[in-house]
Structure 1
Amino acid sequence: MSSHFRVGVFVDAENVRYNGGYQMRYDVLRRFAAREGGILQRLNTYMAFDAERAREDIDYRKKAQTYQQMVRDFGWKITVKLVRRYTDEAGNVTTKANADLDMAVDAMLQAQKLDQVLLVTGDGDFLQVVEALQNTGCRVELMGFKNVSRQLQQQVDAYYSGFLIPDLLPVSYEPRNEWGKPGSCVRGVCTKWFADKGYGFLRIMTVISPNLWITDPRESDSPYASVFCHANELAEDVNEDLLANRETVLEFYVNESDQKDNGLVANNVRLAFTVNR
């Protein structure tokens, strides 16, 4: 990859937060965006801040300010969108802090100095933005969690589920988790399942690598690993139909195999996320 390859990242933080990406690590996201050795020209994230609540809730204000400073320390530019309140005729109050327009405009204006754009969102409203960016010559990648627009996934040059990126989302009940190491908790997908034999194989991304397109774990330079899974390790809600759906994300523990050198086996396999076909 050329050392002049310029990358821009645009994060719809509220969309991420409400769709499974709460506590997403911006340091890991930065590492993912730079995995091909390009220059990180723009690192933009768009966050909501409730000024009215901050005046009354000191704890909220301190947490929000601390979090924003941590993200800035990782080299990100934060665009803060103030939460606005609207009251309907029935007296119901709704809040809104929409950053779509700001993010879309910034991406378009800055695209002329970028070679690749990574959008972190699931909002289908960005479909035309993606098309416009591609027409400028930019390669456009997408990362999302839950409720990601199917049209948006199909329009971009590559889509990545944030659930599957090593350490991007911390495992709350495993604070010292070392993704991919024996005994660690990981997320992956099922690649093969033999119902008549009662076992199959799961695939996990072991490292953030420029070779994410090499999806066959048998290749020496593939960043993926194959994990053996016995039917006895599946939770009750994990059925054959879900295993056949590549969009089903499974969460499980990996351990070394007793029967195969350097092999991995899955334990306590449960459903993390799926999309109905």
Structure 2
Amino acid sequence: MGLDPDDRTAIFIDGANLYKTARNLGFDIDYKRLLQKTRSETRLVRAYYYTAMQEDRDQDYSPLRPLVDWLDYNGYQLKTKIAREFVDAQGRKRYRGNVDIELAVDLVMMAPKLDCIVLFTGNGDFRHAIAKVQEQGCRVVCVSTTGTQPPMASDEIRRQADQFVDLTDLEDVIARKSAPPQRRESNDDEIEDDDYAEEFSGSDG
């Protein structure tokens, strides 16, 4: 990623956006290899993962739970929020959540303690937060892709970032080499893989 070995660096991951980006490119992220890659390049201070989750009521299975639990035990700081439940036009139970505000606030608050932030998202709504981070002397590297149609990385975020890294350039070093364990068959009341990308892609309306 071209990071400075002396920089105090933190990773901020927009979970739903990164999931959708990698899935559209045809691979899954190996989060252990991602940490190893970053630590080999720079002084990694923290790695944050943001996502909205279905509430585990009555011991219902949440498809994100295995991934979130693994991240929590393996070097990531989890920032989660309970998703809102709604019924779609076909009468199916769905969930919708948004952690953009939490991520943006944490970016700005953490900036004085860091030299560099690696932000995994292509969402242009973060442009203003990135600008505020840069005003505090912190460099911002954004990771997403222009290799999909339409591109997952917005023009706004590519212009604002100090450096843009296309996720396709990292596939060889951070792609999962086998099927991810967090996915399984779901019933209609659960959040399936596609539902994660569709319902947790940043829309809160």
Instruction: Give me the TM-score of the superposition, normalised by structure 1.
Output: 0.53
Q: How does 1:202-213 map to 2 (within 5 A)?
A: none
Q: What secondary structure does 1:34 align onto?
A: helix
Shift of 1:90: 10
Unaligned runs of 5+ in 2: 180-205
Q: Distance in 1 between matches of 2:30 and 2:177?
A: 12
Instruction: Tell whether the 8 Å contact from 2:22 to 2:28 is kept in structure 1 after alignment.
Output: no
Letter in 1 for 2:48: N
Equivalent in the alignment of 2:52: 48
User: Is the CA contact 2:51–2:98 (under 8 Å) kept in the aligned structure 1?
Assistant: no
Identify the structure with the greater strand proportion.
1
CA–CA distance in 2 between the matches of 1:97 and 1:151?
23
1:18 aligned residue: 20
SS of alignment partner, residue 111 of structure 1:
helix
Gaps of 5+ in 1: 174-277
Q: Is the 8 A contact 1:33 1:118 kept in 2?
A: no
Quick one: distance in 2 between partners of 1:169 and 1:33? 14
Computing the radius of gyration from Cα coordinates, the structure with the larger value is 1
Higher helix share: 2
Distance 2:70 2:88 in 1: 37
User: Hey, what's the Cα distance between the residues in 1 that align with 2:153 and 2:166?
Assistant: 9
Percent of aligned pairs sharing the same letter: 25
2:166 is matched with which residue: 161, 168, 173?
161
Q: Deviations over 1:171-207 (max 9, x none)?
A: 558xxxxxxxxxxxxxxxxxxxxxxxxxxxxxxxxxx
Classify 1:89/1:37 alpha carbon distance in 2 versus 1 (closer, same or farther; 3 Å): closer
Q: In structure 1, what is the equivalent of residue 102 of structure 2? A: 102
Kept in 1, the 8 Å contact 2:34–2:173? The answer is no
Kept in 2, the 8 Å contact 1:7–1:116? The answer is yes
Query: Does 1 or 2 have the higher relative contact order (CA < 8 Å, sep 6+)?
Result: 2
Q: Distance in 1 between matches of 2:38 and 2:126?
A: 19
CA contact (8 A) 1:8 1:114 kept: yes
**TM-score, normalised by the number of residues in structure 2:** 0.70
Using the alignment, how far apart are the partners of 1:160 and 1:132 within structure 2? 20
Alpha-carbon distance in structure 2 between the residues aligned to 1:77 and 1:100: 16
Alpha-carbon RMSD: 2.7
Shift of 1:26: 1.4
Matches of 1:76 and 1:164 in 2, distance apart? 23
